[in-house]
Amino acid sequence: MCACMDVCLRACVHVCVFISVLVYNTMQYNDSIITTAQALMKQKVPSVGGLQPPCLGQLCAFKIERGELVQILHDGHRHWLTISTIGATRDAEVFVYDSLFNSVTPIVKQQIAAILFTEQNTIDLKVMDVQMQSGSANCGLFAIA
């Protein structure tokens, strides 16, 4: 990732933390905050696919993406995580960035299948080693970061 993109993404994180504390008086992130964060990222890096409103994932109604994508998903149980195909070396390879769990729930698998264009019969999910969250409500911040 280039330094400029890193600075832009960090600015998005700060804006979203500010919005969640000021407007919602909480560190728990809802769909509106995640959608806003992804919209800010999309403005700064329009070439990256994904970054669709996460409410579409619960309905498996994502627009199918070809190429590199980043998407924040909700697992249906008050938890946010991020998936990406950036850096994948083959078709149907997806990196999962989850600050709380080391496994992928069936709901998340369905959402990944709904957004990813592939001609493969299976999707290779790679759960990445990431910093684990310390609190129970930090997952949205970790997903955005």
Residues 6+ apart with CB under 8 A from 113: 60, 123
pLDDT of residue 11: 54
- CA neighbor of 50 nearest in space, from 15, 88, 9, 83: 83
Q: Give Cα 50 distance to the centre of its chain.
A: 9
> Which range (8-12, 36-40, 101-105, 136-140) has the least confidence?
8-12
Q: How far is CA 43 from CA 27, 36, 47, 106, in A?
A: 24, 11, 9, 31
pLDDT of residue 21: 47
Confidence band (pLDDT; 50, 70, 90) for 23? Answer: very low
pTM for the whole thing? 0.81
Kindly list the structural domains of the chain, giving each domain's residue range(s) and its CATH number in brackets, ordered by start: 3-144 (3.40.395.10)
Q: What percent of the chain has pLDDT over 70?
A: 81
Higher pLDDT, 9 or 143: 143
